[in-house]
A and B are shown apart, each in its own frame.
Chain A
Amino acid sequence: MGDDMDITGAASGAVDAFLSETNLYLAPDPVIMNNHGLEPRTAYEDECISKESDPVRLEIVRERILAGVNESFEMLENMGAAPGAKWGDCVSAVYTESGDLSLASSGGVVIFCNLVQYPIKFIRKYWSKDKTVGINEGDVFIVNDARYGQAHNTDQSMMMPVFHEGKIVAWAGATVHEGENGAIEPGGMPSLAEQIWDEGLKMSPFKVAENYTLRRDLVTFLQNSVREPKLQYADMKVKMYVCRRIETRIHEAIAEYGVEAVVAALRMNLEDTDAEVRRRLKEWPDGTVRHSWWTDGTLRENVQIKINLELTKKGDELTFDYRGSSPEFTNRSNNSLDITVKGMLAQLFLTFIWPDIPRNQGVLAPVNFIFDNPSVLKPGFGTPSAQSMMTVFTAWSAGQVATMKFLYSNPHKYTRVLAPWFNMINTFLFGGLTQHGEMVGNVCADINGMGGGALADRDGEHGCAPIFATMSDIGEQEFIEEEVPFIQIVSKKMMKDNQGFGRQRGGMGYQMVLAMRDSDAFGFMLTAMGAKFPNIPGLFGGYGCPTYPLARIRGVNVFEILKNDPASFRYSIEELMNERPFPDAQYSTHPMTLGYTLAQRGELYMIAQGTGGGFGDPLERAPADVMRDMDEGLISDDVAWRIYRVVYNKETLHVDEAATAKARDEARRERIAKSKPFDAFCKEWVKDKPSGKVPYFGSWDDKTMVHAGDPDKLHPAGQVVPPVVMAHPLQVKIDKLEAELAECRKSGNR
Chain B
Amino acid sequence: MRRVSVDIGGTFTDCSLVWDDRYVEAKSLTTHQNLALGFNASLKIAYEQLGLTLEEVMREVDSVRYATTLGTNALIERRGPRVGLLVTAGFEAMVPLSRGRGYGEGLPDRQRRDLPMAQRPEPLVPVQMIVGVRERVAETGEILMPVDAEDVRTQVRKLVDNGVQAFVVSLVNAVVQPEHELLVEEIIREEFPEQLLGSAPIVLSHQVGGRKGEYARTSSAILDAFLHNAMYHGLSTLELNLRDNGYRKPMLVIHNSGGMAQLNSTDALQTIHSGPVAGINASEHLAVEADLGNVVCTDMGGTSFDIGLVVKGGVKFYDFNPVIGRWLVNIPMVHLVTLGAGGGSIARFDRLRRAVAVGPESAGSDPGPACYNRGGRYPTVTDADLALGYLLADRYADGSIPLNERRATRALEKEVGEPMGTDALGAAKLIRQKIDNDMANGIAQELRVRGYEPRHFTILAYGGNGPLHACGIANVLGVSRVMVPPFSSIFSAIGAGNMDQLHFHERSLYLSLYDSNTRKIFDDFDSFNALVEELEQKGRDDLMRQGVAPAAIKHRLELDMRYGNQLAQTAVVVSKNRLETADDLMEVLAAFSKDYGRRYGEGSQAPEAGIRINTIRVATYSSMSTLKFADILPKKADLAPAPAATQHKECHFVGHDGAMKTAFHDLADLSFGSVVEAPAVVISPSTTYLVEPGWRLKIGRHGAALFERAE
Contact = CB atoms under 8 A, between A and B. Distances in A.
Partners in one complex: yes
A357 interface: yes
A461 B604 CA distance: 39
B125 to A, nearest CB: 12
Interface in A300-357: 350-352, 355-357
A226 to B, nearest CB: 14
A374 B354 CA distance: 43
A692 interface: no
A241 B604 contact: yes
Contact of A56 (B99, B172, B430, B442): B430
A272 B90 contact: no
Interface in A567-589: 567, 569, 571
Interface in B82-131: 89-94, 96-97, 99-101, 103-104, 109-110, 112-120, 127-128
Contacts of A358: 352
A520 to B, nearest CB: 15
Contacts of B512: 436
B275 to A, nearest CB: 26
Nearest to B102: A464
A555 interface: no
A77 B354 CA distance: 33
Interface stretch (B466-474, B558-566, B578-586): B558-566
A80 interface: yes
A80 B567 contact: yes
A625 interface: no
Interface stretch (A35-43, A229-237, A382-390, A527-535): A229-237
Given A458-B119, A465-B118, A492 B92 contact: yes
Nearest to A275: B352
Contacts of A487: 136, 138-139, 144
B216 interface: yes
Contacts of A68: 445, 448
Q: Classify chain A's interface size.
A: 35 or more
Contact of B138 (A230, A276, A517): A517
Contacts of A351: 113-115
B568 interface: yes
> By CB atoms of chain B within 10 A, which of A60, A350, A632 has the most?
A60
A637 B274 CA distance: 48
Contacts of B115: 351-352, 355, 421, 452, 464-465, 470
A473 B438 contact: no
A152 interface: no
A123 interface: no
A74 interface: yes
A657 interface: no
B463 interface: no
Contacts of A230: 516-517, 564-565, 609-610
Interface in A236-252: 237-238, 241, 244-245, 249
> By CB atoms of chain A within 10 A, which of B97, B437, B563 has the most?
B97
A475 B564 contact: no
B352 A357 contact: yes
A56 B517 contact: no
Contacts of B567: 77-78, 80, 85-86
B101 A462 contact: no
Contacts of A55: 353-355
Contacts of B510: 482
A60 B144 contact: no
A241 B599 CA distance: 11
A71 B353 CA distance: 23
A212 B603 contact: yes
Contacts of B606: 233-234, 237-238
A418 B148 CA distance: 44
A559 B144 CA distance: 7
A475 B100 CA distance: 8
Contact of A472 (B100, B132, B438): B100
Contact of B136 (A438, A475, A562): A562
A405 to B, nearest CB: 15
A494 B115 CA distance: 21
A487 B173 CA distance: 12
A238 B604 contact: yes
A224 interface: no
B22 interface: no
B566 A80 contact: yes
A231 B356 CA distance: 44
Given A64-B441, A212-B603, A493-B93, 4 more contacts: A62-B353, A63-B437, A478-B173, A563-B145
Interface of B: 89-94, 96-97, 99-101, 103-104, 109-110, 112-120, 127-128, 132, 134, 136, 138-139, 144-146, 148, 172-173, 175, 212-216, 350-356, 430, 433-434, 437-438, 441-442, 444-445, 448-449, 508, 510, 512, 515-518, 563-568, 599-601, 603-604, 606, 608-610
**A-B pairs, 5 with minimum CB distance:** A490-B90, A562-B145, A355-B114, A78-B568, A59-B355
8 contacts: A63-B441, A241-B600, A249-B448, A418-B116, A471-B112, A478-B172, A482-B139, A487-B139
Interface of A: 55-56, 58-60, 62-64, 66-68, 70-71, 74-75, 77-81, 85-86, 88, 106-107, 212-213, 230-231, 233-234, 237-238, 241, 244-245, 249, 272-273, 275-276, 350-352, 355-358, 415-418, 421, 436-438, 448-449, 452-453, 455, 458, 461-465, 470-479, 481-483, 487-494, 510, 513, 517, 559, 562-563, 566-567, 569, 571, 631-633
